[in-house]
Amino acid sequence: MQPSPARDVNIQRTEPLVSPVDLVNELPLTPEVEATVLEGRRQIQAVLRGEDPRFLVITGPCSIHDERAALDYAERLKKLSDEIGDRVLIVMRVYFEKPRTTVGWKGLLYDPHLNDTFDINEGLRRARTLLINIGEMGVFTGTEFLDPIVPQYLAGLVSWAAIGARTTESQTHRQMASGLSMPVGFKNGTDGSAQIAVDAMISARAPHAFLGIDHFGQTCVVHTNGNPYGHLVLRGGNTGPNFGAGAIAEAHKLLSKSGVPSQLLVDCSHGNSNKDHTRQGIALRDIIEQRVAGNAGIIGCMLESNISAGAQKLNGDSSSLEYGVSVTDACIGWEDTEELLRWAHDKMADAVGQPVG
C-alpha cells in the first residue's frame, strides 16, 4: 500500500494472525469434546426455559494465567459436579480476556507469557488447547468474549458466554452476541443499571449484519439470526449490591415489562461483594434462600474462585508466582467454594420440586 502521512500515524507495526480455520485444523474439536460442549448448552438452555429446576453455578478463576492450575481446578470441579449435579448445574469459568478500566494485563490470550510481549498467536493456541483439555474431562465451560474476532477461534468449545459490564452497552458486542451459538449472559452496567443489559438482550435477539471475519480470516459481512438465549446477570455496581429481594423484584419487573425472559443470574463478585472476595458467600446464601422461598426466576449465580484465596500482582517473573492464586481480582479458595456449593446443594433439596419459570 502506498505510504501516506495521513494513515497509521500511531501504528507501530502489524503482524500476521493465524486464521481460525488453520487453528481449528491444528487443534481440532474431537467428537467427545463437541458432545460435552453441546450437552452443556442443552442443559443451560433447559434451565433458561424453565424446564430444568437445578441451580446454575458458573465458577472459576477471575482469569486464567496458569493452565496447569486451571486443569487442577477443573479436575476438582468435575469430581464435585459428579456428586452434586442432581441439583446444581456447574459450569467452569474460563476467562482469557480481561477488560481493563485503564491499563493492565489483558489476559492469557493477549499476553500468554505475562511479560508484555503480546504473543497473541500463542495465546490463541494455548486458550484453545486448554478448552479442549477441560472439555475432555467432561466439564462445561463459560467465558467472556471481549474482542469480536475471538469467537471464530474459541466459540465452538464454549457452552456459556458473558458480555461484561463495560461492553453490554456496545453495539458491536450486542451484534456479536446475536450470532453466538451458546446462551449469553449480559451484565448490568458498572453504575448498577439493569436497563442497559435488558436493552442488550432485546438487541441480541434480533438479526444483525455487521463487519467481521470468516473462518479463513477474510474480512466479511456477518449476517446473524439473533440469539434467543440472552439473559440478565446482576453484578452490583458503583452504588452497591443488587442481589437483595427488592433489587431482584425490580429487575424481574423490568424484564417482564420489556418482553424478554425474566430468569436471571446473580454474579456474587464485583459490586455484589463490594469487591471483597470473602463476601461472595453472603450473596450466594441470600439468593439461594430467595430461590428456596419460591423465587424460581433466580436460576443461578457466578463465583470468582480459585485453588487458593486472594490475589497477587504480576512481577515480570512468572516462576515466582504463587500456585493457584489469581493475578487479577481476588477469589475465594477451593475449600470455601466446595463448602458453599455443597450447602447450595443441600438447600436446593427444598426447591427442585417447585415449578420453574
Q: What angle do CA 338, 339, 342 make, to 5 degrees?
A: 80
Nearest-Å Rg of the Cα atoms of the chain is 20
| 3 within some domain | no
Query: In this structure, which amino acid lies at residue 295?
Result: N
DSSP state of 305: B
Number of domains in the chain: 1
Task: Identify the CA nearest to 251 among candidates 204, 174, 197, 173.
Answer: 197
Torsion of CA 20, 102, 198, 232, to 10 degrees: 70
Going residue by residue through the chain, which has 357 residues, state the pLDDT in tens, using 9 for 90 and above. 788 889 999 999 999 999 999 999 999 999 999 999 999 999 999 999 999 999 999 999 999 999 999 999 999 999 999 999 999 999 999 999 998 877 889 999 999 999 999 999 999 999 999 999 999 999 999 999 999 999 999 999 999 999 999 999 999 999 999 999 999 999 999 999 999 999 999 999 999 999 999 999 999 999 999 999 999 999 999 989 999 999 999 999 999 999 999 999 999 999 999 999 999 999 999 999 999 999 999 999 999 999 999 999 998 788 899 999 999 999 999 999 999 999 999 999 988 654 433
Instruction: Please give the Cα distance from 350 to 269 (Å, whole number).
Output: 25
Non-local (6+) Cβ contacts of 18 within 8 A are 26, 121, 124, 125, 217
| 7 within some domain | no
| 198 within some domain | yes
| 2 within some domain | no
pTM of the predicted model, to two decimals? 0.96
Which structural domain, as residue segments, surrounds residue 163? 20-314+321-350
Instruction: Please give the Cα distance from 166 to 190 (Å, whole number).
Output: 7
CATH of the domain at 124: 3.20.20.70
Cell of 175: 451484534
> 294-342: per-residue pLDDT in tens?
999 999 999 999 999 999 999 878 889 999 999 999 999 999 999 999 9
The pLDDT value recorded for residue 357 is 38
Distances (CA, A) of 120 to 32, 113, 176: 27, 10, 21
The pLDDT value recorded for residue 353 is 56
The pLDDT value recorded for residue 4 is 87
The pLDDT value recorded for residue 78 is 98
| 10 within some domain | no
| 15 within some domain | no
Q: State whether residue 186 is helix, strand or coil.
A: strand
| 148 within some domain | yes
| 12 within some domain | no
DSSP state of 293: T
